[in-house]
Amino acid sequence: MTLNPFVFVAIILGVLGLGGLIGYMIKQNQEEAKRKAQNLKADHILTEAKEKAREIELEAKDTALKITQKAEEELNRRRFELNREDDRLQKRREELDLRLEKYEEREARLNKRQSSIDKRANEIDKLYSEIMEELQRISQTTKEEAREILLAETEKEARADMARIIRQIESEAREKGNIRARELIADAIQRVASEKVAEVTTSVVNLPNEEMKGRIVGRNGRNIRAFEQISGVDVIVDDTPEAVTVSCFDSVRREIARRSLQRLVIDGRIHPANIEKIVKEENEQMDDDIAEAGEQAAYDAGVAGLHVEILKKLGRLKFRTSYGQNQLAHAVETAKIASVIAAELDADVEVAKAGALLHDLGKAMDHNTEGTHAKIGAEFAQRYGVNPKVVNIIASHHHESEQESVEAVIAEAADAISGARPGARREDLEQYIKRLRALENIANSYNGVERSYAIQAGREVRIIVKPNEIDDVEANRMAKNIAQQIEETMQYPGQIRVTVIRESRATEYAK
């Protein structure tokens, strides 16, 4: 049976319309389900947001509560501190009030005492007038006449004191002239003499045994002659056990010889060829040591910019001594003292330091150059471009030239301080004891002295006098006379303090 095409098309259209309706209904159901799921998710998110907001609110409340508690605690603490400070101020105010009352009481007592003193002064004036009238009546002289007599006696005593002072000044001038002459002679002897005191011009080399002396001398004196000719020193082999002495006026040459001899003794090969080799090596090593010592001294003193030749000459002072004081250490110490003084006086610190460091530069070459060490050092420093102010300090530190700046005076003072301080220089025991004994002998030579003691390494002499023979005025006069006699008869570094002690004793016996 054949269907009508129109019917077939209608059926197909109906089926398609039914399918589209069914599809539309399914799509609507899916969208409805999706919308419900989204609503559920939104409700869940909203619920979580509300819970989180509630938690945040609770946390904010807790935080606010903590901040409030902390603020209250801080407020209570500050209130407590303010109360304590207020109590302290109140206590201080009470103390001040009490002190003010004490001051007022003291002022009242002082006023009362002043009134009493004024009253006593009036009584003394009245008594003085009565005594003066009685004295005039007894002496049969007026006040003006007594004044004229007193003035005449005073003039007479003043003329006597003036004559004594003039004689003292003349004596001091002669004494200083003699001292200056002795300095010039000693300086000349120092540069030309072949020997000086043992502690300055000799060095001792210890030997392992007595046999080594024979090896140093050599056959027919061959080794010792070679050593003396090469090194330019004298080697003294005497009865001193296990030691020989090296003597020379040149401290550097003596030190080279001492080192060379020590190396020869350790090496054991003592013959002219080895002697010449070792002395040459020690000469080279000494040049390096001298340069290093000069650079180190300039660094320690804080002086920069010095010429290499000046540093070398400065380093030679390491092997030069004066009264047992190492001259390089003395130069560095003088520079440090001068820098402190210059800083205190607002002077040029750099100039003062440099001048003080180089003030004894001439001592490194005065043994073979004519002239004083100040002049030699100044000329050498000027030759190598040293500041003219520093050159003047070197030349004038012994007043051989005029001092042109305050730094020159400072360097001279620092030199004296470094040389005269206790322990800076040494003297042999015999001379030290003689000086102490001389101080006590001078003190004991005066009438009325019970006993005397030289103390503080001879820098003070303490004198105890008999109180029934020496009064206070005579004690003062005795101290002055003893100090003057010490100045005139003794030579010493620094100054010596003279103390006269007069003790009054009252003694009674109970019977």
Burial of 341 (0-12, 13-18, 19+ CB in 10 A): buried
Q: Check residue 250 and give its pLDDT.
A: 74
pLDDT at 456 over 70: yes
Tokens of 416: 């004296």
pLDDT band for 506, please (50, 70, 90 cuts).
low
Burial of 33 (0-12, 13-18, 19+ CB in 10 A): exposed
Q: Same structural domain for residues 242 and 262?
A: yes
Domain of 478?
Answer: 429-502
Query: Looking at residue 223, what is its pLDDT?
Result: 85
Q: 504 versus 294: which is more confidently predicted? A: 294
User: Helix, strand or coil for residue 346?
Assistant: coil
> 354: closest CA among 322, 378, 387?
387
- Helix, strand, coil proportions of the chain in percent (round to 5)? 70, 5, 20
294-323, pLDDT tens digit by residue?
A: 888 888 888 888 888 888 888 888 877 776
Q: Do the Cβ atoms of 279 and 231 come closer than 8 Å?
A: yes
| Pair 265, 212: CB distance under 8 Å | yes
Do 437 and 372 belong together in one domain?
no
Specify if 263 maps to a domain.
yes
72/65 Cα distance (integer angstroms):
10
d(C-alpha 414, C-alpha 416), whole Å = 5
Which whole number is the average pLDDT over 190-214?
A: 61
Q: Please check the confidence at residue 215 and state whether its pLDDT lies above 70.
A: yes
Total length of the chain: 511
Beta bridge partners of 460: 455, 497
DSSP secondary structure string for all residues of 412-458: HHHHHHHHHSTTSS---HHHHHHHHHHHHHHHHTSTTEEEEEEETTT
Q: How far apart are CA 259 and CA 251, in angstroms?
A: 12
Instruction: Provide the 3-class DSSP secondary structure of residue 493.
Output: coil
Task: Tell me how many domains the chain contains.
Answer: 3
At residue 188, the pLDDT reads 34
Contact between 479 and 499 under an 8 Å Cβ cutoff? The reply is yes
Comparing 326 with 334, which gets the higher pLDDT?
A: 334
**Residue 479 belongs to domain with CATH number:** 3.30.300.30
Note whether 461 and 411 are same-domain residues: no
Q: What is the pLDDT of residues 461-472, one digit of tens each?
A: 899 898 888 888
Q: Is the pLDDT of residue 370 over 80?
A: no
Q: How far apart are CA 189 and CA 120, in angstroms?
A: 73
**Do 330 and 408 belong together in one domain?**
yes
Distance, in Å, from the CA atom of 114 to the CA atom of 331, rounded to the nearest integer, reads 61
Q: Which amino acid is at 68?
A: T
pLDDT in tens, 398-455: 888 888 888 988 888 888 877 765 555 555 456 667 788 888 899 999 988 988 888 8
Fill in the DSSP letter of residue 363. G
Q: Do residues 441 and 411 both lie within one domain?
A: no
Tokens of 178: 């003699």
What's the rounded mean pLDDT across residues 139-151? Answer: 73
Span 105-144, pLDDT tens digits: 888 888 888 888 888 888 888 888 888 777 777 767 776 7
How far from the centroid of its chain's Cα atoms is residue 347's Cα?
A: 18
Given 234, 256, 288, the domain boundary residue is: 288
Q: For all residues of the chain together, what is the average pLDDT?
A: 81
Tally Cβ neighbours within 10 Å of residue 243: 15
Look at residue 400 in the predicted model and tell me its pLDDT. 83
**pLDDT confidence of residue 482:** 92
Q: What is the mean pLDDT of residues 486-495?
A: 78
**323 and 409 inside one domain:** yes
* β-sheet bridge partners, residue 246: 203, 235
Mean pLDDT of 81-96: 90
Q: Please report the pLDDT score of residue 418 as a whole number.
A: 77
pLDDT bracket for residue 29 (50, 70, 90): confident
CA 375 distance to own-chain centroid: 29
- Does any domain span residue 439? yes
Q: Residue 209: inside a domain, yes or no? A: yes
DSSP secondary structure string, 320-345?
-EETTEEHHHHHHHHHHHHHHHHHHT
Q: Are residues 205 and 230 in the same domain?
A: yes
Highest mean pLDDT pick, 147-161, 199-213, 410-424, 430-444: 430-444
Task: Please tell me the predicted confidence (pLDDT) of residue 197.
Answer: 36
Q: What is the mean pLDDT of the segment spanning 275-294?
A: 87
- Per DSSP, the residues of 186-255 read HHHHHHH-S---HHHHEEEEE-SSTHHHHHHH-GGGHHHHHHHHHHT-EEE--SSTTEEEEE-S-HHHHH
Is residue 396 scored above 80 in pLDDT? yes
Q: Which of 256, 288, 320 is the last residue of a domain?
A: 288
Domain end (from 420, 442, 474)? 420
| 3-state SS assignment for residue 31 | helix
Domain check: are 362 and 453 in the same one?
Answer: no
pLDDT band at residue 192, thresholds of 50, 70 and 90? very low
Q: What percent of the chain has pLDDT over 90?
A: 3
CA distance 385 to 373: 19
Instruction: For residue 44, tell me if it sits in a domain.
Output: no
Rounded mean pLDDT of 353-374? 80
pLDDT at 243: 84
Dihedral of CA atoms 47, 49, 54, 60 in degrees, nearest 10, equals 180
Q: Both 416 and 433 in a single domain?
A: no
What CATH number does the domain containing 411 carry? 1.10.3210.10
* 395 and 376 housed in the same domain: yes
What DSSP character marks residue 140? Answer: T
